[in-house]
Structure 1
Amino acid sequence: MTVVVGYLPTPDGLAALSHAIEEVGRTGEKLVVVNTGELGNYAGPSFATPQDLDAIDTQLTEAGIDHLVLQPTNGLSAADEILLAASAHDASRIVIGIRRRSPVGKLFTGSTAQQVLLEADCPVLAVKPQR
């Protein structure tokens, strides 16, 4: 089985990654880390740097975790990329980071978390960063 985690280089994304690493450390499952830009914006802050992804790869390798780090550049939404990865890797669950947003903020910018929660074919664990 596989755990898919949506990763952003933000406190929310780091919380999701940390939780996913803890989970697969206990279960021995494979971890698929997915990071992508927002609808084709690969210069934005949500698109992790190669150094960031290399650090994640090194951390997972040193921890002995079977893993795959993906950074698709298909122009799809982050939610669609996470859902595609979950389907392609037969995910047992998806881990995503969430942050507090106003209803108006969600209306104008959409919600990756909401789409993943509504469309996933497997359980989704939403993780908040600790304050």
Structure 2
Amino acid sequence: MEVRLDNGTLWIGTDAYPLHTITRVTTTEADPERRAAVRNYAIAATSWLFPATLASAVTLKAISALITITALAWFTLRTTTLIKYLSTTQHVLIIETATTRHRALASTDRRPIEDLAFRIMDALNQPPDRINQP
């Protein structure tokens, strides 16, 4: 996502924030939505593994083995993805204007988010004639 400062306006992607309306910039951590992730995982596992078990029980041994191996590979991939998702933390840049708070940007790496918050606050503290100078 492109982040730039142009003529007193902060652009984050296609969202524009005029600098004079920004009152505060902060960072925070957002935990993943665990309940929804586990629920979606359980639904997907049930809807795929149950039919795969039934199909492998009523088919020939070779086809049954193929179905079982495919189902176990899928199950392993989904479980690994779920564990990775549940263990990550999103670092979020929040821009507050005179009227509302905006979640402007999120990343799993804290450093770029904190650096961007610092740069935005630095731009806010600069005189208007120095904002776009190198």
Q: Same fold (TM over 0.5)?
A: no
Q: TM-score range by the shorter chain?
A: under 0.3
**Structure number with bigger Rg:** 2
TM-score where L is the length of structure 1: 0.22
Decide which structure has greater helix share: 2
